Structure 1
Amino acid sequence: MLLVLSEEHKEHLAFLPKVDTKEKLCVPVEIVQHGVEGLMFLMLESSKHMLSEVDFLDSVLVLGFDEELNQILLQLYLQHHNQIRSILSHLPSSLPAYHNLEWRLDIQLASRLCRQQVIPMLTMRLLLTRGCDSHSDYSSRVLQADPSTLLYLISTLEAALAAIKTSHGRRILRNIK
């Protein structure tokens, strides 16, 4: 998986190659602040998606840094991604999380309108949770599909996952933005 950075984040990180390590920065405070925020976003999103070394380097390649700076960023990511993930796991998430799935197969056996056609429907109730374990707030979503639509959806998602893992898919993702 490649990390896609917005133009704003690319601008924030653009000042990194211009920094001379032996002298003071001599740049406005806002530029330094945006650069630090850009680095934080890069490390946070990379850790959140558990990028491999290759994917991280491919994601950073879009920024146009030299090889030395790319390797420094990679080492920084490798040293701290476990710590970042640990901190992220302790933060409360505003996104709903999977709790349970209940399903039912409905089949209409007879009908005056459709005497010979039997169309089964799969009804699923997805139970989602928000918040901590002890004080969970539950919500549910009801989904309904016929088996052929469900099989088509599964095959399409599997094909998309397989396509994004190819080197051609990585190149396309790298050049999107």
Structure 2
Amino acid sequence: MLLVLSEQEKTSFTFLTSLPEQVYPDLVKTALSQLLSTKQITKVVNSAAAKLKVEVASLTNSSLYVLSQCLLNSAKRNLTPEDLTSSLKACGVEVTIVTPLVISYTENRDILIDIITRSTVQAPEYRSMEWRLECQVGSRSLHNTVIPNVLTKWKISDPRFNNLKTKETYLNCDVNTLQHITESLRAAQLELDTLHARKMCRNLARIG
């Protein structure tokens, strides 16, 4: 798996090449500090911008942002240092920038992955479903009337245990509700086949 850079990110890396090569390791270190520390590093950024004679906004929104996003996205994809190196070189990033970035990623890869894991919302995941149809065939007040009801047993993962354990949930569902759920799922499936939905899925896959 390789890391794909957007045109804006490529432009940001191009801006980095206009800065002295000796500051690249410090910029990578500052970008990493933004990710790992909850403390504000405004003074550090302002000092670096003054020394480099560039605007603070340019340094923050361009250089530091693209470096931090590169580290995060690499950790999201669990890239190896070799994959990251190949990805950046394929996108035309200078070796003088690639080297300190890959070194920083290699040294802090486990920490970055841990940050992503803790910041990601853990949702239950579907494992299996069993169902049973029950029918009330009559009562004292209603004769010759069949009232169907569906009892479902859902086995889902438990996010409290990182989805490694499962729990069972029972739901009663009448025919009208079951029909509504079925129609909603069919409508969602048809929506996924539209051009707009496919485009959104591709963009989300590219980001994630």
**Which residue in 1 is equivalent to 2:6?**
6
Mapping for residues 1-177 of structure 1, pairs under 5 Å: 1-20=1-20, 21=22, 24-34=51-61, 35-93=63-121, 96=123, 98-102=125-129, 133=160
Assess, with a 3 A threshold, how the Cα gap between structure 1 residues 92 and 52 changes in structure 2: closer, same or farther: closer
TM-score, with length taken from structure 1:
0.53
1:41 deviation in Å? 0.8
Gaps of 5+ in 2: 24-47, 132-152, 164-168, 170-180, 187-208
1:27 deviation in Å? 1.2
1:58 deviation in Å? 1.5
TM-score, with length taken from structure 2:
0.46
SS at match of 1:15: helix
Q: Which has the larger radius of gyration?
A: 2
Count of aligned pairs:
118
Gaps of 5+ in 1: 105-124, 145-177
Are 1:99 and 1:129, in contact at CA under 8 Å, matched by a contact in 2? yes
1:62 deviation in Å? 3.4
User: Structure 2 CA distance, aligned partners of 1:103 and 1:54?
Assistant: 46
1:19 deviation in Å? 1.6
Greater length-normalized contact order (CA 8 Å, ≥ 6 residues apart):
1
Assess, with a 3 A threshold, how the Cα gap between structure 1 residues 26 and 97 changes in structure 2: closer, same or farther: farther
Are 2:127 and 2:157, in contact at CA under 8 Å, matched by a contact in 1? no
1:78-97 CA deviation, whole Å, 9 max, x = no partner? Answer: 01111111111111427x56
User: Structure 1 CA distance, aligned partners of 2:103 and 2:119?
Assistant: 25
User: Structure 1 CA distance, aligned partners of 2:80 and 2:91?
Assistant: 18
User: Structure 1 CA distance, aligned partners of 2:3 and 2:100?
Assistant: 18
1:126 deviation in Å? 9.0
Are 2:3 and 2:74, in contact at CA under 8 Å, matched by a contact in 1? yes
Are 1:12 and 1:31, in contact at CA under 8 Å, matched by a contact in 2? no
* Between structures 1 and 2, the one with greater helix share: 2
SS at match of 2:69: helix
* Backbone CA RMSD of aligned residues: 3.7
